[in-house]
Chain A
Amino acid sequence: MCGLSGKTAVITGTNRGIGKEVLRVFAENGANVFACARNQNAQFEFELSTISEENNVNIFPIYFDLSDPQQIKTAVQKIRKTALTVDVLVNVAGIVEESTSFGMTSIEKMKKVFDINFFSLTQLTQYISRIMISQNHGSIVNISSIAAIDGTPAQYEYAASKAAVIGGTKKLARELADHNIRVNAVAPGIIDTDMGGKIDPVLKDEIIAKVIMKRMGTPREVANACAFLSSDLASYITGQVIRVDGGI
Protein backbone atom coordinates (compact mmCIF):
# COMPACT_ATOMS: atom_id res chain seq x y z
CA MET A 1 0.00 0.00 0.00
CA CYS A 2 1.47 3.34 -0.95
CA GLY A 3 1.09 6.33 1.32
CA LEU A 4 2.78 5.04 4.47
CA SER A 5 6.35 4.57 3.34
CA GLY A 6 8.77 6.75 5.27
CA LYS A 7 6.13 7.95 7.72
CA THR A 8 6.48 7.56 11.46
CA ALA A 9 3.60 6.24 13.54
CA VAL A 10 2.89 6.03 17.24
CA ILE A 11 0.82 2.92 17.88
CA THR A 12 -0.52 1.89 21.29
CA GLY A 13 -1.30 -1.62 22.48
CA THR A 14 1.31 -3.19 20.21
CA ASN A 15 2.10 -6.21 22.35
CA ARG A 16 -1.01 -8.15 21.39
CA GLY A 17 -4.12 -8.48 19.27
CA ILE A 18 -5.07 -5.70 16.90
CA GLY A 19 -2.26 -3.37 17.99
CA LYS A 20 0.37 -5.98 17.25
CA GLU A 21 -1.05 -6.48 13.79
CA VAL A 22 -1.31 -2.74 13.13
CA LEU A 23 2.38 -2.51 13.95
CA ARG A 24 3.17 -5.33 11.53
CA VAL A 25 1.08 -3.89 8.67
CA PHE A 26 2.62 -0.45 9.11
CA ALA A 27 6.13 -1.91 9.08
CA GLU A 28 5.35 -3.99 6.00
CA ASN A 29 4.28 -0.78 4.28
CA GLY A 30 7.50 1.03 5.12
CA ALA A 31 6.48 3.04 8.17
CA ASN A 32 8.72 3.54 11.18
CA VAL A 33 6.92 2.87 14.44
CA PHE A 34 7.00 3.91 18.07
CA ALA A 35 5.62 0.68 19.49
CA CYS A 36 3.83 1.48 22.74
CA ALA A 37 3.23 -1.24 25.31
CA ARG A 38 2.76 -1.39 29.05
CA ASN A 39 5.58 -3.72 30.07
CA GLN A 40 9.07 -4.39 28.82
CA ASN A 41 9.33 -7.96 27.65
CA ALA A 42 12.19 -9.84 25.97
CA GLN A 43 9.88 -11.77 23.66
CA PHE A 44 8.17 -8.56 22.58
CA GLU A 45 11.49 -6.85 21.88
CA PHE A 46 12.68 -9.87 19.90
CA GLU A 47 9.53 -9.71 17.77
CA LEU A 48 10.01 -6.00 17.21
CA SER A 49 13.60 -6.45 16.07
CA THR A 50 12.53 -9.26 13.72
CA ILE A 51 9.78 -7.12 12.17
CA SER A 52 12.20 -4.21 11.92
CA GLU A 53 14.85 -6.27 10.11
CA GLU A 54 12.39 -8.01 7.79
CA ASN A 55 10.95 -4.70 6.63
CA ASN A 56 13.98 -2.43 6.88
CA VAL A 57 12.20 0.09 9.11
CA ASN A 58 12.92 1.49 12.55
CA ILE A 59 10.80 0.32 15.46
CA PHE A 60 11.25 1.97 18.84
CA PRO A 61 9.64 0.31 21.86
CA ILE A 62 8.08 2.79 24.30
CA TYR A 63 6.84 1.46 27.63
CA PHE A 64 4.23 3.18 29.74
CA ASP A 65 1.09 2.49 31.71
CA LEU A 66 -1.90 4.25 30.15
CA SER A 67 -3.55 4.47 33.56
CA ASP A 68 -0.75 6.79 34.76
CA PRO A 69 -0.95 10.34 33.31
CA GLN A 70 2.65 11.11 34.25
CA GLN A 71 3.91 8.02 32.43
CA ILE A 72 2.00 9.10 29.32
CA LYS A 73 3.67 12.51 29.45
CA THR A 74 7.11 11.01 29.97
CA ALA A 75 6.58 8.63 27.04
CA VAL A 76 5.69 11.48 24.70
CA GLN A 77 8.71 13.43 25.92
CA LYS A 78 10.87 10.46 24.86
CA ILE A 79 9.22 10.47 21.45
CA ARG A 80 9.76 14.22 21.08
CA LYS A 81 13.44 13.89 21.94
CA THR A 82 14.04 11.62 18.94
CA ALA A 83 13.27 14.68 16.79
CA LEU A 84 11.41 12.46 14.34
CA THR A 85 8.16 13.66 12.88
CA VAL A 86 5.03 11.94 14.12
CA ASP A 87 2.85 11.49 11.06
CA VAL A 88 0.36 9.02 12.47
CA LEU A 89 -1.15 8.10 15.83
CA VAL A 90 -3.14 4.88 16.09
CA ASN A 91 -4.89 4.52 19.45
CA VAL A 92 -5.47 0.80 19.81
CA ALA A 93 -4.91 0.04 23.49
CA GLY A 94 -8.08 -0.62 25.41
CA ILE A 95 -9.57 -2.86 28.02
CA VAL A 96 -12.73 -4.85 28.45
CA GLU A 97 -13.98 -6.25 31.73
CA GLU A 98 -15.71 -9.55 32.33
CA SER A 99 -19.28 -9.62 31.13
CA THR A 100 -21.90 -8.52 33.67
CA SER A 101 -25.38 -7.16 33.25
CA PHE A 102 -25.91 -3.40 33.45
CA GLY A 103 -27.52 -3.66 36.86
CA MET A 104 -24.51 -5.51 38.22
CA THR A 105 -21.88 -3.16 36.82
CA SER A 106 -20.35 -0.89 39.43
CA ILE A 107 -19.56 2.75 38.70
CA GLU A 108 -16.00 2.01 39.79
CA LYS A 109 -15.67 -0.60 37.06
CA MET A 110 -17.15 1.79 34.50
CA LYS A 111 -14.65 4.49 35.49
CA LYS A 112 -11.77 2.05 35.14
CA VAL A 113 -12.82 1.19 31.58
CA PHE A 114 -13.40 4.84 30.67
CA ASP A 115 -10.03 5.79 32.14
CA ILE A 116 -8.17 3.57 29.69
CA ASN A 117 -10.48 3.49 26.69
CA PHE A 118 -11.26 7.20 26.61
CA PHE A 119 -9.38 9.47 29.01
CA SER A 120 -5.93 7.98 28.51
CA LEU A 121 -6.48 7.95 24.75
CA THR A 122 -7.51 11.59 25.01
CA GLN A 123 -4.47 12.60 27.02
CA LEU A 124 -2.08 10.87 24.64
CA THR A 125 -3.87 12.45 21.68
CA GLN A 126 -3.59 15.90 23.25
CA TYR A 127 0.18 15.57 23.48
CA ILE A 128 0.73 13.93 20.10
CA SER A 129 -1.63 16.29 18.30
CA ARG A 130 0.52 19.22 19.44
CA ILE A 131 3.51 17.64 17.72
CA MET A 132 1.35 17.26 14.62
CA ILE A 133 0.17 20.88 14.90
CA SER A 134 3.78 22.08 14.85
CA GLN A 135 4.36 19.95 11.74
CA ASN A 136 1.05 21.08 10.21
CA HIS A 137 0.11 17.56 9.20
CA GLY A 138 -0.91 14.24 10.70
CA SER A 139 -3.44 11.47 10.84
CA ILE A 140 -5.06 10.00 13.93
CA VAL A 141 -6.97 6.72 13.96
CA ASN A 142 -8.90 5.63 17.03
CA ILE A 143 -10.12 2.11 17.57
CA SER A 144 -13.77 2.15 18.57
CA SER A 145 -16.18 -0.77 18.27
CA ILE A 146 -19.43 -1.63 16.57
CA ALA A 147 -20.71 -2.01 20.14
CA ALA A 148 -20.62 1.79 20.29
CA ILE A 149 -22.93 2.01 17.29
CA ASP A 150 -25.14 -1.06 17.61
CA GLY A 151 -25.10 -1.58 21.39
CA THR A 152 -23.75 -5.08 20.90
CA PRO A 153 -21.52 -7.02 21.39
CA ALA A 154 -19.85 -6.30 24.72
CA GLN A 155 -20.71 -4.71 28.00
CA TYR A 156 -22.36 -1.42 28.90
CA GLU A 157 -19.19 0.35 30.02
CA TYR A 158 -17.19 -0.90 27.03
CA ALA A 159 -19.85 0.16 24.51
CA ALA A 160 -20.23 3.53 26.23
CA SER A 161 -16.49 4.19 26.37
CA LYS A 162 -16.14 3.32 22.68
CA ALA A 163 -19.07 5.61 21.87
CA ALA A 164 -17.14 8.38 23.61
CA VAL A 165 -14.24 7.60 21.29
CA ILE A 166 -16.50 8.15 18.28
CA GLY A 167 -17.78 11.45 19.66
CA GLY A 168 -14.23 12.56 20.35
CA THR A 169 -13.12 11.51 16.89
CA LYS A 170 -15.79 13.56 15.17
CA LYS A 171 -15.19 16.64 17.33
CA LEU A 172 -11.43 16.43 16.94
CA ALA A 173 -11.68 16.02 13.17
CA ARG A 174 -13.34 19.44 13.04
CA GLU A 175 -10.92 21.06 15.46
CA LEU A 176 -7.72 19.73 13.92
CA ALA A 177 -8.65 20.14 10.26
CA ASP A 178 -7.23 23.68 10.39
CA HIS A 179 -3.86 22.10 11.15
CA ASN A 180 -4.10 19.60 8.27
CA ILE A 181 -4.65 16.72 10.69
CA ARG A 182 -7.23 14.05 9.88
CA VAL A 183 -9.00 12.08 12.61
CA ASN A 184 -10.96 8.90 11.96
CA ALA A 185 -12.11 5.81 13.82
CA VAL A 186 -12.29 2.14 13.03
CA ALA A 187 -15.13 0.13 14.55
CA PRO A 188 -14.28 -3.56 14.56
CA GLY A 189 -16.95 -6.20 14.91
CA ILE A 190 -16.22 -9.64 16.30
CA ILE A 191 -12.47 -10.05 15.94
CA ASP A 192 -10.45 -13.13 16.78
CA THR A 193 -8.34 -11.71 19.65
CA ASP A 194 -7.89 -12.35 23.37
CA MET A 195 -10.30 -9.50 24.03
CA GLY A 196 -12.86 -11.08 21.70
CA GLY A 197 -12.62 -14.14 23.91
CA LYS A 198 -14.11 -12.17 26.81
CA ILE A 199 -17.44 -11.91 25.03
CA ASP A 200 -20.04 -14.35 26.28
CA PRO A 201 -19.75 -17.47 24.02
CA VAL A 202 -23.50 -17.68 23.42
CA LEU A 203 -23.63 -14.00 22.48
CA LYS A 204 -20.60 -14.48 20.24
CA ASP A 205 -22.29 -17.29 18.30
CA GLU A 206 -25.43 -15.22 17.95
CA ILE A 207 -23.45 -12.32 16.54
CA ILE A 208 -21.45 -14.45 14.11
CA ALA A 209 -24.74 -15.86 12.84
CA LYS A 210 -25.77 -12.29 12.00
CA VAL A 211 -22.51 -11.47 10.21
CA ILE A 212 -23.02 -11.58 6.46
CA MET A 213 -19.62 -13.22 6.01
CA LYS A 214 -20.39 -15.78 8.77
CA ARG A 215 -17.03 -15.61 10.48
CA MET A 216 -14.97 -13.58 12.93
CA GLY A 217 -12.65 -10.95 11.56
CA THR A 218 -8.90 -11.11 11.93
CA PRO A 219 -6.69 -8.51 13.58
CA ARG A 220 -5.03 -8.04 10.20
CA GLU A 221 -8.30 -7.02 8.58
CA VAL A 222 -8.71 -4.29 11.20
CA ALA A 223 -5.06 -3.29 10.82
CA ASN A 224 -5.51 -2.89 7.06
CA ALA A 225 -8.32 -0.40 7.63
CA CYS A 226 -6.12 1.52 10.09
CA ALA A 227 -3.31 1.60 7.54
CA PHE A 228 -5.62 2.89 4.82
CA LEU A 229 -7.06 5.67 6.99
CA SER A 230 -3.56 6.64 8.17
CA SER A 231 -2.15 6.78 4.67
CA ASP A 232 -2.27 9.42 1.99
CA LEU A 233 -4.77 7.23 0.15
CA ALA A 234 -7.34 8.56 2.61
CA SER A 235 -6.24 12.19 2.26
CA TYR A 236 -9.83 13.48 1.91
CA ILE A 237 -11.35 11.34 4.65
CA THR A 238 -11.80 12.74 8.14
CA GLY A 239 -14.33 12.47 10.95
CA GLN A 240 -15.46 9.06 9.74
CA VAL A 241 -16.09 5.76 11.47
CA ILE A 242 -15.25 2.77 9.28
CA ARG A 243 -16.89 -0.48 10.30
CA VAL A 244 -14.77 -3.59 9.91
CA ASP A 245 -17.40 -6.15 10.81
CA GLY A 246 -17.95 -8.55 7.92
CA GLY A 247 -21.30 -6.93 7.28
CA ILE A 248 -23.95 -6.88 9.98
Chain B
Amino acid sequence: MTNLEKYNDAFITTFEITEDQLAGLKYQDIQAWDSVGHMSLIAALEDAFDIMFDTDDIIDFSSYEKGKEILSKEEYGVKF
Protein backbone atom coordinates (compact mmCIF):
# COMPACT_ATOMS: atom_id res chain seq x y z
CA MET B 1 0.00 0.00 0.00
CA THR B 2 1.43 3.42 -0.92
CA ASN B 3 1.53 6.26 1.59
CA LEU B 4 -1.25 8.03 -0.27
CA GLU B 5 -3.38 4.90 -0.14
CA LYS B 6 -2.71 4.58 3.60
CA TYR B 7 -3.58 8.24 4.09
CA ASN B 8 -6.79 7.97 2.12
CA ASP B 9 -7.72 4.73 3.86
CA ALA B 10 -7.52 6.42 7.26
CA PHE B 11 -10.08 9.03 6.13
CA ILE B 12 -12.31 6.54 4.35
CA THR B 13 -12.37 4.07 7.24
CA THR B 14 -12.67 6.64 10.03
CA PHE B 15 -15.37 8.77 8.44
CA GLU B 16 -17.05 6.03 6.38
CA ILE B 17 -16.82 8.10 3.20
CA THR B 18 -15.75 7.38 -0.36
CA GLU B 19 -12.53 8.35 -2.12
CA ASP B 20 -14.25 10.91 -4.32
CA GLN B 21 -15.17 12.92 -1.20
CA LEU B 22 -11.56 13.41 -0.08
CA ALA B 23 -10.32 16.29 -2.25
CA GLY B 24 -11.10 19.60 -0.59
CA LEU B 25 -12.56 17.94 2.52
CA LYS B 26 -12.30 20.22 5.54
CA TYR B 27 -12.70 19.73 9.30
CA GLN B 28 -16.40 19.83 10.21
CA ASP B 29 -17.49 19.70 6.53
CA ILE B 30 -19.16 16.39 7.31
CA GLN B 31 -20.83 15.20 10.50
CA ALA B 32 -18.27 12.45 11.05
CA TRP B 33 -15.34 14.89 11.08
CA ASP B 34 -16.22 16.57 14.34
CA SER B 35 -13.87 16.88 17.32
CA VAL B 36 -14.44 13.23 18.28
CA GLY B 37 -13.88 12.05 14.71
CA HIS B 38 -10.81 14.26 14.47
CA MET B 39 -9.10 12.37 17.28
CA SER B 40 -10.10 9.05 15.70
CA LEU B 41 -8.52 10.20 12.43
CA ILE B 42 -5.34 11.29 14.21
CA ALA B 43 -5.14 7.94 16.02
CA ALA B 44 -5.67 6.07 12.73
CA LEU B 45 -2.92 8.06 11.00
CA GLU B 46 -0.53 7.52 13.91
CA ASP B 47 -1.13 3.79 13.60
CA ALA B 48 -0.83 3.79 9.82
CA PHE B 49 2.45 5.69 9.70
CA ASP B 50 3.86 4.72 13.12
CA ILE B 51 4.25 8.34 14.17
CA MET B 52 3.10 10.58 17.00
CA PHE B 53 1.66 13.97 16.18
CA ASP B 54 2.58 17.07 18.13
CA THR B 55 -0.46 18.79 19.59
CA ASP B 56 0.12 21.90 17.46
CA ASP B 57 -0.11 19.77 14.32
CA ILE B 58 -3.32 18.15 15.52
CA ILE B 59 -4.77 21.63 15.88
CA ASP B 60 -3.48 22.70 12.45
CA PHE B 61 -4.83 19.57 10.74
CA SER B 62 -7.79 21.40 9.22
CA SER B 63 -8.29 19.66 5.89
CA TYR B 64 -7.40 16.64 3.78
CA GLU B 65 -4.76 18.68 1.96
CA LYS B 66 -3.35 20.29 5.13
CA GLY B 67 -2.92 16.84 6.66
CA LYS B 68 -0.70 15.78 3.77
CA GLU B 69 1.36 18.93 4.21
CA ILE B 70 1.81 18.19 7.94
CA LEU B 71 2.75 14.57 7.39
CA SER B 72 5.33 15.66 4.82
CA LYS B 73 7.19 17.65 7.48
CA GLU B 74 10.66 16.40 8.37
CA GLU B 75 9.69 15.07 11.81
CA TYR B 76 7.09 12.73 10.31
CA GLY B 77 8.89 12.04 7.03
CA VAL B 78 5.92 10.76 5.06
CA LYS B 79 6.44 11.14 1.32
CA PHE B 80 3.43 11.27 -0.99
Q: Which residues of A contact B (CB under 8 A)?
A: 73, 76-77, 80-81, 126-127, 130-131, 133-134, 175, 178-179
How far does the alpha carbon of A178 sit from the alpha carbon of B14 in the complex, in Å?
14
B interface, CB within 8 angstroms of A: 36, 39-40, 42-44, 46-47, 50, 52, 55
Q: B36: which of A73, A76, A131, A178 is its contact (CB, 8 Å)?
A: A178
Tell me if B47 and A179 are in contact (CB < 8 A). Answer: no
Query: A133 to B55, Cβ gap below 8 A?
Result: no
Q: Give chain B's interface secondary structure class.
A: helix
> Would B39 and A179 count as touching, CB distance under 8 A?
yes
Give the contacting residue for A80; candidates B36, B40, B42, B50; CB below 8 A: B50
Residue contact A179 to B52, C-beta cutoff 8 Å? no
B42 CB to nearest chain A CB (Å): 6
Q: Within the assembled complex, what's the spacing in Å between the Cα atoms of A28 and B39? A: 34
Contact between A130 and B50 (Cβ–Cβ < 8 Å)? no
Pair B52/A133 contact, Cβ less than 8 Å: no
What is the CB-to-nearest-CB distance from A7 to chain B, in angstroms, rounded to a whole number? Answer: 19
**Residue in A closest to B41 when the chains form the complex, CB atoms:** A133
Cα distance A175–B40 when bound, in Å?
12
Tell me whether A127 and B52 are in contact (CB under 8 A). yes
9 A-B pairs with C-beta separation under 8 A? A77-B52, A126-B55, A130-B39, A130-B42, A131-B46, A133-B42, A134-B40, A134-B43, A134-B44
Q: Please determine whether B46 and A134 come into contact, CB atoms closer than 8 angstroms.
A: yes
Chain B residue at minimum C-beta to C-beta distance from A132: B43
Docked CA distance A191–B14 (Å) = 45
**Shortest beta-carbon distance, A135 to chain B, in Å?**
9
Contacts of B52 in A (CB 8 A): 73, 76-77, 80, 127, 130
In order of increasing CB-CB distance, the 4 nearest A-B pairs are A134-B43, A133-B43, A130-B43, A178-B36
Q: How far is the CA of A76 from the CA of B50 in the complex (A)?
A: 12
CA of A76 to CA of B52 in the docked complex: distance in angstroms?
Answer: 9
CB of B36 within 8 A of CB of A130, answer: no
Given contacts A178-B36, A179-B40, contact A130 B46 (CB under 8 A): yes
